[in-house]
Structure 1
Amino acid sequence: MNIYLILILTILVLNNVRKNQRISDKLFCIIICALFILITGLRHNVVGSDTTVYYLQFQEIKQMSLANIIALGKRDFGFFIFEWLVAKCFHDFVVLTLSVACVFYIPITLLIYRYSEDKGLSYLILMAFMFFQFSMTGVRQTMALGFAIMCMLELLKEKKNIVRVVIWFWLGTIVHRSCLIILPFLLIYLFRRSRIIAKSCLVILPIAFLFRGQLTVMASSIFENLGFELEQYGGGSGGLTTFLVYLLLFVWGMFFTYIGEADYELQPLWLSMMGVATVLQVFVLVNSVFFRVVWYYSIFLTIYIPKMICASRVEGRSYALINYAILFGLLYMYLGITIGSANVLPYQFFWQGL
């Protein structure tokens, strides 16, 4: 637990130094990104719920030929070929975890550096909303999420390269097929200057909530036909709490932020991403495995929340109170709720014994 506390303190202290312009945004992001990569990549193979499974799989794949890997006919063949290459070239599982950490945290850092209004807050959001914990357990989807972010970052550029967009998307889907869920982002991008998608989500939400059982069954069937393996898990209080948090953030963005004022407006693009994430979170209430779908959109909480704060129609003391409330809320979420999830406690480096 100590290493996580040190990470939080480092983010808070350096973010304050950054705000006082004693270090640049770029240097701050590089330092914090490096810390996340080192903590995630250098972990022991018992840290993270699925890490041991991936470790044993790595040892097995190390003994196989490329022809054997291809013959397995695995759905996410890209990851298994990558894992085989690492096993043959480096023979060490920690190289795999470090590589996965880089594929995830470098795109996340680029996203935060380019678009976040508060870089430090964005990294705390990663921790509070369990993205940090997930990066230490869901190895394949962690990579896919990194490629998905690169795909969307390329699409958001003024001078975009469509070939790169396709390559990043292809890499994501061959690593974990769930990456297909980012295809609706194209629609969000087309309407990036309009609130029509956000407004549509607001209308859809009560309907989706009322018929969540039937809709989840239908969605599960569609995803399984596409080749997903959706295990049946129940919903839980955690899913409901997360849904209520998403809903509060979405409603606040819709009704309590500036509209049409260039310097303060919460851009429709980010509002639409929040709306889609909130609608998708309804499915998690029935089957918690749908969090794997939601996270391709909820990862943009790292951008949405800081922008929402800046665009809020409050001033002076009220603005400061909102800032502190969100900061302490995130710290409580992480230290009081999510820090012990995904079997990341106690933390140990790969060279340490148990």
Structure 2
Amino acid sequence: MKRRTLIGAALALSTGFASAADYRIETVADGLANPWSLAFLPDGGMLVTERAGRLRLIDADGALRAEPVAGVPEAFVNSQAGLMEVALAPDFAESGELFLSYSCGTLEANHTCLAAATFNGTALENAHEIFRVQPAKRGSAHYGGRIAFLPDNTLLLTLGDGFDYREQAQNTGNHLGSIVRLNRDGSAPADNPFVAQQGALPELYSIGHRNVQGIVVDGEGRVFSHEHGPRGGDELNLIQAGHNYGWPKITYGVDYNGAQISPYTELPGLEQPLTYWVPSIAPSGMALYQGDLFPEWQGNLLISALAGKEVRRVVLDGEKVSTQESLFTELGQRFRDVRSGPDGAVYLLTDSPAGKVLRVLPAN
């Protein structure tokens, strides 16, 4: 049975907004173990990943299937490691193809991996790995893991620097601290920006990132991403092929012990963020709102945040951030992901061992 609970209709306003939409929040599903990502199925159902390595199906009538979806590749699960994104191919309605990002390997040697599979309505078929970050790293932090599709049917996979390997984010001879662009079979497109550079890996699309956990492509083909800073210095970036986003040569944050990582916040040849957050909000997911239920949010970026326990609404003026608003703080929840649903509602995933899928609707 579908379980719905009215949670609230509060507003969260910040400077620059005279008014904002009233909303109510209902629970679509609960009892999920650290839900990480959400994908909307053509029949009205949803697929939800749990970091513990399970893929869950919510039926079109809102019922959460008791048994996980079968056929999911085995993930290495530890701390931040596990099953991450589920993303439907642009032609999913015809092909049934989807993609999963996950950590694979062992504590001593692990990678961010990407698999393709076919969903038959109840289980995955022919799940197979198509890409693996090189080299292997030790530890269980900073995997990135978000997926977005470009207009040319290639896909972008966001990655992390592996935490203890941050200098590698400037090394084009590996994938750490980058965003990669792949064909749907996992191969590198021939027009990728680093293909002709000697010693560079052909999958690289942009470099100099710390831990990219949000990415969207808008209707103009522009790519926006955000990444976790260290202690402060989370960034929202406009991604351009072949560009270097600076980590760890430049940063607006400091190390967790307060030590200086770099004396520089800008250097020639390194991109500046559209905005940054100090103190850190820990951005974790991102959506471009394209619904009709909240017309004042149309075209805005919605950024879920863990430490901030909010969703940050970012209003763009061209390629600049004009204003921001903090939403849903009254829930006191760490938000792992945010999605703009096909019904015009906003969907939230709460990061908890007893996590929830929430739906945000207008108050009236």
Q: TM-score, normalised by structure 2?
A: 0.29
Q: Based on CA coordinates, which of the two structures has the bigger radius of gyration?
A: 1
Higher strand share: 2
- Higher normalized contact order (CA 8 Å, seq sep 6+, divided by chain length): 1
Higher helix share: 1
